Amino acid sequence: MLAHLPRRRAAAALAILGFLVAGCAKNAPQDIFRPAGSNAREIDDGLGGQKYIFILAGVVAAIVIAVVLFIIFKFKDRGQDIPEQTHGNPMLEIGMTILPAIILITVAIPTVAKIFNLAKSDDAACVVNVTGQQWWWEYDYPVQNCGGIEITQPIVTSGEMVIPAGVNVQLRITSRDVIHSYWIPRLNGKRDAVPGSLQPLRMQADQPGIYTGQCTEFCGLSHARMRQAVVALDSDSFATWVANQEEAYTSPTDALALEGEGQFISQCARCHQINGLTNSDGTPVLANPEQNLVSGAAPNLTNLMTRTGFAGFTFDLITDACREKLWNAPSEEFSALYLQGVWMDSPAGAEYPVCFNETALREWLRNAPGMKPMFVDPNNLSSTGGLYRGMPNLGLTEAQIDQLIAYLLERK
């Protein structure tokens, strides 16, 4: 066995070097070594950057392993005498203490600079409030001029955050219940969403595209299914998107969808807000999630169909094929495709969107907690005083679901 020792160690060394090249997987959307925006690049590049420190770490490990391999080979027991009982060599020791210190100084100084660069917040051209709750993210855009585009009424959306490409966007992150963490690996490092405090984080994407991420602070039962994305659009498309979000509500004309509106008001509106929705007597329908949910919020569904994923961006609103197409679209084509959403690939004037992933949405309405574990067993809510943590199974009939789907399809 001993004879094989050196070869095995060499293999180990190779394996370790292998990790270093690991940063180049194809299509891994959360690869931390593929920055796509200035902040992530700041983290990645230069002395004190991620690449440098990883290579440095690899080299140090490789040297240690190489030395150990050499020793194992060179000094193994071949029947030699008891070796000289050397006790040490202070100069050597001091040298070997100073050397790592010097290496670390080359890392430490640029690191400090980077920390302060990344913390700057005065160069933002747009602000988005990001709020985490179990187990989805809400974004709200205050009234402002966002990178040249006027936002005239507050926009509230969930799952995907739409921003103009090339613009420094300032996120203000917080939470309504436990600690979550907002992370879009290709755009910036994480920042925790801590209830009771506002945490700043800058986002900037060079090119239009979709950048996915995941809640990275353990936040309870469905932490694994709390995802998010940043969608960067070119400036015109972003303007279109904003205009679309701000469009006034109109009741559906289609009979089925109209019944769906009724269903929505009776079943869903206690949690979900749809802006502009009114009762038959013209009074606005206002959701009161705080009386139903621990976090006091449920996704705003006004423009549900402008999104491509739902329920914490875990499930797709568009079919797999369409998602692949969208995610892999070249950046010039991306914005237009995204704006089409579920209507992507549908011929003009089509009745039904080709890309719509109806199965998933139906399943959600049929039994949400079956798709995504949530704390919604009505018999087990004593600790929260009857409030849910997530969307319960509402026991809808298939007919009701048909109506609701028809209605929700209009929310574009």
Partner 1 sequence: MAIIERPSAVPTFAGAGANAPAVVTPTQGLGVFKRPVAASGWKSWVFTVDHKKLGIMYGVVSMFFFLVGGVEALLIRLQLAAPDNTVLSAQVYNEMFTMHATTMVFLFVMPMAAAFANYFLPLQIGARDVAFPRINALGFWLFLFGGIFINTSWVLGGAADGGWFMYSPNSSPLFSPGHGVDFWVLGLQITGIASLVGAINLIVTVLNMRAPGMKLMHMPMFTWMVLVVQFLLAFAMPVITVALFLLGFERNFGATFFNVDAGADPLLWQHLFWIFGHPEVYIIILPSFGIISEVLPVFARKPLFGYKFVVFSGAGIGFLGWGVWAHHMFASGLGPVSVAVFSVATMLIAIPTGVKIVNWTLTLWGGKLWFTTAMKFAIGVIVLFTIGGVTGVTHAVAPSDTQQTDTYHIVGHFHFVIVGGAVMGLFAGLYYWWPKMFGKTLNEKLGGWNFWLMFWGISITFGAMHIVGMQGQPRRMVVWPEKLTGEGFFNLHFWNQVATWGAFTIAVGVAFFIVNVVVTARKKERAPLDPWDARTLEWITASPPKEHNFDVIPTVHALDEFFHRKYEEVEHEDGHVKLMKVKTAEEILAEEEARADAHIHLPSPSYWPIVLAFGLPIIAYGVIYNLILSFVGAAIVLLAGFGWALEPSVAEDSDYDPPAGGDSTKELATIG
Ranges within 376-405 binding partner 1 (CB under 8 A): 382-384, 389
Contact call for residues 132 and 197 (beta carbons, < 8 A): no
Among 6, 7, 14, 89, binds partner 1 (CB under 8 A): 89
Smaller CB separation from ligand HEC, 124 or 130: 130
Smaller CB separation from ligand CUA, 30 or 331: 30
Ranges within 175-214 binding ligand CUA (CB under 6 A): 180
Name the nearest CA neighbour of 356 among 325, 386, 320.
320
Smaller CB separation from partner 1, 9 or 362: 9
The distance of closest approach from Cβ of residue 259 to ligand HEA in the complex, given in angstroms and rounded to an integer, is 44
Q: Name residue 146's beta-bridge partners.
A: 149
The distance of closest approach from Cβ of residue 99 to ligand HEA in the complex, given in angstroms and rounded to an integer, is 7
Q: Does 141 bind ligand CUA (CB under 6 A)?
A: no
Smaller CB separation from ligand HEC, 124 or 215: 215
Smaller CB separation from ligand HEA, 110 or 208: 110
Among 11, 64, 98, 119, binds ligand HEA (CB under 6 A): 64
CA distances from 27 to 1, 140, 211, 236, 327 (A): 41, 30, 12, 27, 10
Q: Does 307 bind partner 1 (CB under 8 A)?
A: no
Q: Which residues of 365-404 are buried (b: 16+ CB within 10 A; e: fewer)?
A: bbbbbebbebbbeeeebeeeeebbbbbbeeebeeebbbbb
Q: Does 25 bind ligand HEA (CB under 6 A)?
A: no
Contact call for residues 237 and 336 (beta carbons, < 8 A): yes
**Backbone φ, ψ for residue 70 (5° rounding):** -60, -45
How many residues contact partner 1, by CB under 8 A? 110
Contact call for residues 58 and 19 (beta carbons, < 8 A): yes
Contact call for residues 10 and 69 (beta carbons, < 8 A): yes
The distance of closest approach from Cβ of residue 348 to ligand HEC in the complex, given in angstroms and rounded to an integer, is 26
Ranges within 202-261 binding partner 1 (CB under 8 A): 212-225
Smaller CB separation from ligand CUA, 183 or 356: 183
Sign of the Cα torsion 361, 367, 371, 376 reads positive
371: enclosing H helix or E strand: helix 358-371
DSSP 8-state assignment for residue 177 = S
Name the nearest CA neighbour of 242 among 118, 152, 327, 178.
152
Among 5, 22, 67, 103, binds ligand HEA (CB under 6 A): 103
270 binds, among ligand HEC, ligand HEA, ligand CUA, none (CB under 5 to 8 A by kind): ligand HEC
**Backbone φ, ψ for residue 13 (5° rounding):** -60, -40
The distance of closest approach from Cβ of residue 160 to ligand HEC in the complex, given in angstroms and rounded to an integer, is 9
Q: Half-sphere exposure of residue 400, counting CA atoms within 13 Å on the CB side?
A: 14
Smaller CB separation from partner 1, 27 or 283: 27
Binding site for ligand HEA (CB under 6 A): 60, 64, 100, 103-104
